[in-house]
A and B are shown apart, each in its own frame.
Chain A
Amino acid sequence: MPSSLLKSAREIVRHRTLLGVLVERDLKVRYKRSVLGLFWTMLNPLLMMIVFSVVFAEIFRFSFEHFTIYFLSAFVLWNFVAQTTSWSTACLLGYAPLIRKIYVPAAVFVLATVLSGLVNMLLSLVPLAAIMLVVGHPIRASVMFLPVAILLAVFFAFGLSLLLAGICIEFNDVVQIYQAVLLGWMYLTPIVYPLDIVPNRFRWLIAINPMYYLVEIFRVPIYGGVLPDARLLWRAGLVAIVALGTGWWVFERRADRIAYLV
């Protein structure tokens, strides 16, 4: 199994030019036709944030410092995973004209989807930093840890995307089912509410939620200004690796069927 994982990885590396072209194409198609162009990427989280901040800070009255930053720092990461995984449910169908005729390992298309989502996420860090400056939340040296948190999130998103892409190619109603799952999943993750409002008897729900760990190790360096503790990091790493391994395994087993199904 590790040797065939290595083989797939090598296949992907061999197609890196294609990966670059696909990511570029994705970003172009997404922004070319909108007047605001690239600014839209940054404006979108900004608008989102205003809505959520008003709803949760003003209406629900969570009384802690800089709720906006608490929420946004988690939401940026959540949004990355949610967006890329839901794009990937449809990505193989979208690329069907390419898959049917020229041999390219199909995982390249899934990875391209994840990477273009990553570009989006990195761009949305710019308005986040701007807002932190405006509200006067300190940006500490702990943000140097973010590349690690982002890398783990990419592993997780890629793994889950592979799994979903492999299933959706056969059962296209999973695309809709997954949208519903995402909605529930987001509210089961402490993104818009603090962990301590969750009653003890429901804490296990948080503990088994992989997104909790990935979100926390991303939020803590930004909002808390400290490094995440080792226990959290260890678990985040574990869920990322397990997701990647499982997703890759399922996808690889279905890879032969993909050209028949698209």
Chain B
Amino acid sequence: MPDRLAIDVRNVSVRYTIPHERIPTFKEFAIRWLRGRIVWKEFHALNDVTLLVRAGESLGIIGRNGAGKTTLLKVIARVLRPRAGTVNTAGRVVPLLELGAGFDPELSGRENIFLNGAMLGHSRRYMERRFAEIVAFAGLEEFIDAPLRTYSTGMVARLGFSIATDVEPDVLLIDEVLSVGDVEFQAKCVERMNRFRELGVTFVLVSHALPTVQELCTRVVWIEGGRVQADGPPAEVIAAFTGQAAAPGLMTACATAIG
């Protein structure tokens, strides 16, 4: 295969210190430390995951809630540094991880475009040139000077998508954000993504919406308990996932996952 790798994740492990073990105050820490009562308990969100994605691939990541999908995406985006293993990406990686990622609710839409652009590594002059186009794509001309806290969820998502995809990235990471926005905006998103695909942009899409995954992706990875359970063509992996998830005792998990 002559293609170069866009994402190279090797033997990555991520461990969280689980929430109820976290000691939030120094006072408590000091008391427990004196009593010798600190227990470090860890939750393995990812366990020795290796994932190689070639440039131009559209990868879907599926799995149950808490399986480690979002963690994997955050590791690729460098938001989380893994405890073990290596992560390498080629070119500009643009994360679309959550609604309002990198926005400040107190600032206006206009100011947020510059803030978000700066976080993605763009200069101010560059953002000034792109400004009109970003606002137009998001369809927010009338509201651009209002503070972001007055925006609806859909409006925030539109602005985020518009900024992140204004320049063609090399790798686009998407976590469940395409489901927001009205029909018209969704159509615009799909159109833009199709154009990217023709240009050879690499996609990683995390979603519970299995039909969307099947439609958009050329390859699907199923994550279960922090490990890669299956990796292959969308139809096969999705079938294996739904088959396993529908097994007795897992009906509820399945309903949450698909619903």
* A contact set with B: CB distance below 8 Å: 14-15, 17-18, 20-22, 25, 28-29, 97-104, 167, 170-174, 177, 255-256, 259-260
Q: A102-B77, A102-B101, A260-B17 are in contact. Are A20 and B124 (CB under 8 A)?
A: yes
In the complex, which residues of chain B have a beta carbon less than 8 angstroms from the beta carbon of A29? 106-107
Q: Are A173 and B25 in contact (CB under 8 A)?
A: yes
Q: Are A98 and B119 in contact (CB under 8 A)?
A: yes
Q: A15-B121, A101-B98 are in contact. Are A25 and B115 (CB under 8 A)?
A: yes
In the bound assembly, the distance between CA atoms of A23 and B25 in angstroms comes to 29
Pairs of residues from A and B, 9 with the lowest C-beta to C-beta distance, nearest first: A101-B101, A171-B26, A103-B78, A18-B118, A173-B25, A21-B118, A17-B118, A101-B97, A256-B81
In the bound assembly, the distance between CA atoms of A172 and B22 in angstroms comes to 12
Quote the shortest CB–CB distance from A181 to chain B (angstroms). Answer: 12
Given contacts A25-B115, A171-B26, 12 further A-B contacts (CB under 8 A): A17-B124, A18-B119, A25-B107, A28-B111, A29-B107, A98-B119, A102-B97, A103-B77, A171-B23, A171-B24, A173-B24, A259-B74
Interface size on B, residues (CB 8 A): 34
Quote the shortest CB–CB distance from A73 to chain B (angstroms). Answer: 34
Q: A17-B122, A171-B24, A173-B25 are in contact. Are A260 and B80 (CB under 8 A)?
A: yes
One of A104, A177, A259 near B81 (C-beta < 8 A): A259
Q: Is residue B95 within 8 Å, beta carbon to beta carbon, of the partner chain? A: yes
What 0/1 pattern do residues 1 to 28 of B give for CB contact below 8 A with A? 0000000000000001100000111110
Q: A21-B114, A21-B124, A25-B115 are in contact. Are A172 and B24 (CB under 8 A)?
A: yes
Q: Are B79 and A103 in contact (CB under 8 A)?
A: yes
In the complex, which residues of chain A have a beta carbon less than 8 angstroms from the beta carbon of B122? 17
Quote the shortest CB–CB distance from B144 to chain A (angstroms). Answer: 16
In the bound assembly, the distance between CA atoms of A15 and B123 in angstroms comes to 9
Q: Is residue B168 within 8 Å, beta carbon to beta carbon, of the partner chain? A: no
Quote the shortest CB–CB distance from A100 to chain B (angstroms). Answer: 7
Contact sample, A vs B, 29 pairs, CB 8 Å cutoff: A17-B118, A17-B121, A20-B124, A22-B118, A25-B104, A28-B107, A28-B111, A97-B103, A97-B104, A98-B102, A98-B104, A100-B79, A101-B95, A101-B97, A101-B101, A101-B102, A102-B77, A102-B97, A102-B119, A103-B79, A103-B95, A171-B24, A171-B26, A172-B25, A173-B26, A173-B27, A259-B81, A260-B16, A260-B80
In the bound assembly, the distance between CA atoms of A103 and B97 in angstroms comes to 11
What 0/1 pattern do residues 198 to 223 of B give for CB contact below 8 A with A? 00000000000000000000000000
Identify which of residues 110-161 in chain B touch chain A, using a CB-to-CB cut-off of 8 Å.
111, 114-115, 118-124
Quote the shortest CB–CB distance from B30 to chain A (angstroms). Answer: 9
Q: Are A259 and B121 in contact (CB under 8 A)?
A: no
